[in-house]
Structure 1
Amino acid sequence: MSSDGESTVAVKLFIDKENKRVLFAESDQDFVVVLFSFLTLPLGTIVRRLGKQSQVGCLDQLYKSVEDLGEDHFHTKPCKTMLLSPRNAAAGHLRRLKVQVDDIDQSQFYACSRHMGYFSSVPDVSCPFCFTNTMDKTIRDYNNPVEIFAKMRTKFIITDDLQVAPSSTGLMFSLMDKLELQEQENIEEVVLQLDSNKTVSLIARALLSKQPLTGLYFDVATTPDAATNVFQLLENLLVEVAQADEAEPMFKAIKMRLIQTNDDTLVLYAEVGHDFVELLFGLLCIPLGSIIKAYGEWSPNGCIDNLYKSANEEGCVKQECRSLLLSPKLPPFFGCSSNVLQVEELPPRRVNGYNHEMNPKNPVKVLVGHISRKVPQTLW
């Protein structure tokens, strides 16, 4: 626990004193589950927690654009809240974490004080019965926290580039050989206590650096490389057809008008419709793990995809919990109509006696289902 009473997690760092680098780390499951929880975070949450200075592509500018737009540009007032403070579909698995990355209370929901049974995950949703009243009564999800997803092991080894594996003497000696460490006296062991602020800093470094633990401990400034490879869409995101007129595409084409320089070397701006804006804004709700699943890797600048690969290896994550990290879902109603990345959306929930979750984009009566449904055809 930190000096101000905030909960922390401990991680033992093995440091090369001569070269000022973290060789690897050792910890129990408390730190490992915090690392794996990064994969469940929506992109909008990451940008917000990093103070709109994530330096990941142009996500910061996208987030600021949503902030700057007036509420009249959105389908409903709560739509803006959904984009700036997206909910986490895996929230129930994160309640027992000793360090919380998200500063949003995921157990808090909102209901109408006059009509029982109906609730929303975001405030200011209109009650379908009152019309003039909004759901402003705070309710809590009192369901017991579900089990965390890491396996119950005594220790784990984490490399500087966030590869996670069960600890063993053989693995430690293998790392020593790989790192060409001949002299044991050059290795220093330091126990680092991570609070929420340091954990958020670790996320920022993992997105942009191959050595986030070294950067965190030695407080190295992290900036993205000047040359960043452009992601390539995988084939499973596209419909392969022999003849275009014999099959319908999986997604409707989005049209835009580009204004560019005379020599065609620079796009000045684009004129687009609501479908393209909806697609862009919807990215803020997509979990980090779903981005890696869709593209096969994270940007070559960072190492967050090593966490994704580790979650798919035997020995770290419980089999029944792997899909939470490898294919994280969206909360109810947080999807958009152009589901290009094919991220599944959870069905509406029941919370503490309230059986009908409302759609903040279109507050009409929605009965709770028991199977995942398609993304609703509504606009941000």
Structure 2
Amino acid sequence: MGSTKISLKLLVDTKSKKVLFAEAGKEFVDFVFSLLKLPVGAVVKLITAETMNGSIGRLYQSVEHISASYLLPNKNRADLLQPKVLHPDARELLLLQGKGQGGQVPESGSGAGAAAGSPPDKFKLYTCAGYCATAAMEAKAACPQCKQSMATEVELVLPSAAPPQGQAASSSSSGDEERSGYVKGLVTYMVTDGLEVTPMSAISSITLINKFSVGKDVELAEKYACVGMDEGLGLLRAALRSDTVLSDVFLAKKNVK
């Protein structure tokens, strides 16, 4: 991830230690939206099976520990434990990159699985040296047409990464930024404690403040937070088990000022 950081402005009730909402830009909204595209196995790998509520963590560990002698010879446990993410460049997931080294899953049933918290692998496609009209997800496959090894990586372009039909691709960085992710830039978004995302407006923020304040003694204050890799993982973990995600991540840890 490097030094990637996203700034948030939080409206906090200092008495109840709760976040009412955050004012966020495109980068943060793209990140939280991108969490919906993570395969279940990638989620468990990122936040580690031991810290997960429910049964998915135990299911992950079962696959991790089962002896290779029980697996079909043409199956690789890494397909379940290290699923690839269908992103052309995974820019929206940069906050989750660089955690661990992404070690390979051993084929013996020794129980030493993928490195905890390693980033999800990017989805790749391969073709043969003759560029026949075929593609494979593994470089070991043989081309059904020319029988050569399909080891030449080809670029995977999703529709969202391409310019609209009939519109020339823009060479400007702002144009590239506007085509990446999910939401438009130059807009401020309101993200509630439970990760409801709407465009920010004076009416919506006042309505939410009034609804929260009715019948309560509240003391509201603006605070600022930086979202990096640790906070990104915290948001993913909290989103799976809590309705007060922003409060859990930014007020439990003293990283607001």
Q: How far is 1:141 from its partner?
A: 2.1
Structure-1 separation of matches of 2:30 and 2:154: 24
Structure-1 separation of matches of 2:81 and 2:126: 17
The CA RMSD over aligned residues, in Å, is 3.3
Q: Unaligned 5+ residue runs, structure 2?
A: 98-118, 162-178
Q: How far is 1:53 from its partner?
A: 3.0
Q: How far is 1:33 from its partner?
A: 1.2
Pick the aligned partner of 1:57 from 54, 57, 60.
54
Structure-1 separation of matches of 2:57 and 2:63: 10
Pick the aligned partner of 2:201 from 155, 158, 168.
168
Counterpart in the other structure of 2:233:
200
Q: How far is 1:184 from its partner?
A: 11
Counterpart in the other structure of 2:164:
none
Q: How far is 1:87 from its partner?
A: 2.2
Structure-1 separation of matches of 2:73 and 2:136: 13
Amino acid at match of 2:63: V
Q: Is 1:96 aligned with 2:120?
A: no
Q: Aligned in 2, Cα 1:8/1:121: closer, same or farther, shift over 3 Å?
A: farther
Q: How far is 1:182 from its partner?
A: 9.5
Q: Unaligned 5+ residue runs, structure 1?
A: 221-380
The answer (yes or no) to whether the contact 1:44–1:86 under 8 Å persists in 2 is yes
The answer (yes or no) to whether the contact 1:33–1:149 under 8 Å persists in 2 is yes
Q: How far is 1:105 from its partner?
A: 3.8
Structure-1 separation of matches of 2:29 and 2:199: 10
Q: Is 1:141 aligned with 2:155?
A: yes
Amino acid at match of 1:97: E
Q: How far is 1:5 from its partner?
A: 3.8
Q: Aligned in 2, Cα 1:140/1:218: closer, same or farther, shift over 3 Å?
A: farther
Identical counterparts, % of pairs = 23
The answer (yes or no) to whether the contact 1:17–1:186 under 8 Å persists in 2 is yes
Higher relative contact order (CA 8 A, sep 6+): 2
Q: How far is 1:52 from its partner?
A: 1.2
Q: How far is 1:204 from its partner?
A: 0.8
Pick the aligned partner of 2:45 from 48, 57, 62.
48
The answer (yes or no) to whether the contact 1:107–1:140 under 8 Å persists in 2 is no
Q: How far is 1:108 from its partner?
A: 4.1
Amino acid at match of 2:96: V
- Count of residue pairs the alignment pairs up: 209
Q: Is 1:70 aligned with 2:74?
A: no
The answer (yes or no) to whether the contact 1:46–1:54 under 8 Å persists in 2 is no
Q: Is the partner of 1:208 in helix, strand or coil?
A: coil
Q: Is 1:215 aligned with 2:230?
A: no
Q: Is the partner of 2:12 in helix, strand or coil?
A: strand
- CA shift digits 1:47-86 (9 cap, x unpaired): 1101113523211111111111233433345531211111
The answer (yes or no) to whether the contact 1:7–1:98 under 8 Å persists in 2 is no
Q: How far is 1:46 from its partner?
A: 0.5
Counterpart in the other structure of 1:189:
222
The answer (yes or no) to whether the contact 2:45–2:81 under 8 Å persists in 1 is yes
The answer (yes or no) to whether the contact 1:99–1:195 under 8 Å persists in 2 is no
Counterpart in the other structure of 2:122:
106
Counterpart in the other structure of 2:175:
none
Amino acid at match of 1:141: E
- CA shift digits 1:242-279 (9 cap, x unpaired): xxxxxxxxxxxxxxxxxxxxxxxxxxxxxxxxxxxxxx
Amino acid at match of 1:139: E
Q: Aligned in 2, Cα 1:211/1:101: closer, same or farther, shift over 3 Å?
A: same
Q: Aligned in 2, Cα 1:122/1:57: closer, same or farther, shift over 3 Å?
A: farther
Q: Is 1:127 aligned with 2:160?
A: no
Matches within 5 A, 1:1-380: 5-89=2-86, 91-92=87-88, 95-97=90-92, 99-101=94-96, 103-106=119-122, 108-109=124-125, 117=132, 120-122=136-138, 125-127=140-142, 137=151, 139=153, 141=155, 143=157, 146=161, 147=179, 148-180=181-213, 186-219=219-252
